[in-house]
Amino acid sequence: MPAPWPFAIRSQAAFPVLPFHTVHAYDIIKIPDDIGPWTRKVVKELEIHGRENMNGDCPPAERTITVERVATAKLPTQVGDFEIIGYRSLTSSEEFVVLAKGELGPDTPTLVRIHSQCLTGDVFGSIKCDCGPQLRRAMEMIEAEGRGAVVYQQQEGRGIGILNKIRAYALQDDGADTVEANEQLGFAVDARDYRQCAEILFDLGLCRVRVISNNPDKLRALENAGLTIVERIPIEIDAKEPAAHYMKTKKEKLGHLLTIDQ
């Protein structure tokens, strides 16, 4: 029975990489009992809003570009050689960086990752989260493929900024989890917005993407923007504490598609 997403018909215990069924998308939604209310809400929204982008236009015929490309340069890394591209938002002070490799075009399903900035994990090697290893794993996958892009967005701490993230860490030191800490500070559990990330993928010439992500909210955002998601590529890190607790919280409270034990 075809479904709009691999996770719509399978439990979280097993997520093989399956093709996205474009022809049958949104025809039937079958949601298992164990995915939780938040992911259930996301799948329902896919059923409602996803129909808007089923006309096959890529990019959508009517849209306003709210980002601009500023600079491009070569970037050799420990993983391999990439092109680094800088973008800035035309509606806010946010800036974006893209690591791209290979020839990017609309017809070839291409590996992509939307990676939210995590200074503590990406730069300082924090083991409170799985962000740093996820970024490196995504780069390695793209290097091995010879084609792909990472869109790196400045939405630290799920959109609350680095200083508030440190305040949230202090609350976690006292026993709160990552969701409870945001709530205790008066912030949304997840304030990130991925619409401009999708615009950047369009600007790179992409239409058909293979998304490296465990986050159904990212999948929904890219699909609603008009991208065709051919595959979801799981990216699960074999983490020990304290990152394991963080990943468990993401699965239980944020609906992330992880196989980590309850």
Give residue-wise pLDDT tens across range 146-159: 999 999 999 898 88
Q: What does the pLDDT read at residue 92?
A: 92
Are the CB atoms for 215 and 236 separated by under 8 Å? no
Q: What does the pLDDT read at residue 233?
A: 94
Residue 27 lies in a domain: no
Residue 57 known to be catalytic: no
Residue 174 known to be catalytic: no
CATH code: domain of residue 128: 3.40.50.10990
As a whole-number percent, the residues of the chain with pLDDT over 70 amount to 76
Range of the domain at 147: 61-155+192-254
Q: What are phi and psi of 217, to 5 degrees?
A: -65, -40
Q: What does the pLDDT read at residue 68?
A: 95
Q: Is the pLDDT of residue 177 over 80?
A: yes
Indicate which residue of 167, 190, 210, 232 is catalytic.
190
Average pLDDT estimate for 30-56: 42
As a whole-number percent, the residues of the chain with pLDDT over 90 amount to 56
Q: What does the pLDDT read at residue 190?
A: 87
Q: Round to whole Å and give the CA distance between 212 and 135.
A: 10
Residue 36 lies in a domain: no
Average pLDDT estimate for 220-231: 93
Output the average pLDDT for the chain. Answer: 79
Over residues 104-117, the pLDDT tens digits come to 999 999 999 999 99
Q: What does the pLDDT read at residue 43?
A: 41
Residue 163 lies in a domain: no
Q: How confident is the model at residue 198 (pLDDT cuts 50, 70, 90)?
A: very high
Q: Is the pLDDT of residue 248 over 80?
A: yes
Residue 39 lies in a domain: no
For CA atoms 4, 217, 245, 232, give the dihedral sign. Answer: positive
Residue 134 lies in a domain: yes
Residue 160 lies in a domain: no
Task: Indicate the range of 17-21, 67-71, 174-178 predicted with least confidence.
Answer: 17-21
Better pLDDT: 28 or 207: 207
Q: What are phi and psi of 154, to 5 degrees?
A: -90, 70
Indicate which residue of 10, 158, 167, 192 is catalytic.
192
Residue 181 lies in a domain: no
Residue 240 lies in a domain: yes
Number of domains into which the chain is organized: 1
Over residues 131-143, the pLDDT tens digits come to 999 999 999 999 9
